[in-house]
Structure 1
């Protein structure tokens, strides 16, 4: 199975995931469970680094879309 990933798609996915996790942290803070922000930020940057490493390991970014004929 081949996975075709673009930079924009990866960045949007990481942004959505980061916002969801941050909102869960906010809800937990409202309930009374306080979590520090530094481990959260480290985890998000670690996830971004791991995703970029994975894409590079699998062959890099897609730079030329298939089937897009220029005029």
Structure 2
């Protein structure tokens, strides 16, 4: 199975994931479990670095659709 990876798609998925995790942190803070912001930010940057590393290892970004050569 092949997965097309575009910069925009991965960045949007990463942003959505980051917002979901931040909202979970906000809900936990509301219930009384306080989590510091700095480790959260470090984890988001580490996840972004890992994401870029995996994309690089699997062949890089898909910049142009594969198709027929122009005439």
In the superposition, the TM-score normalised over structure 2's length comes to 0.89
Gaps of 5+ in 1: none
Instruction: Quote the residue 1:21 is aligned against.
Output: 21
4+ aligned runs moved over 6 Å, structure 1 = none
Aligned positions of 1:3-42 closer than 5 A: 3-42=3-42
- RMSD value, Cα: 1.8
Q: How far apart are the structure 2 equivalents of 1:27 and 1:64?
A: 41
Q: How far apart are the structure 1 equivalents of 2:39 and 2:68?
A: 42
In the superposition, the TM-score normalised over structure 1's length comes to 0.89
Q: How far apart are the structure 2 equivalents of 1:69 and 1:47?
A: 37
Deviation for aligned residue 1:2? 2.2
Question: Is the alpha carbon distance of 1:68 and 1:49 closer, same or farther for their aligned partners in structure 2, counting shifts above 3 Å?
Answer: farther
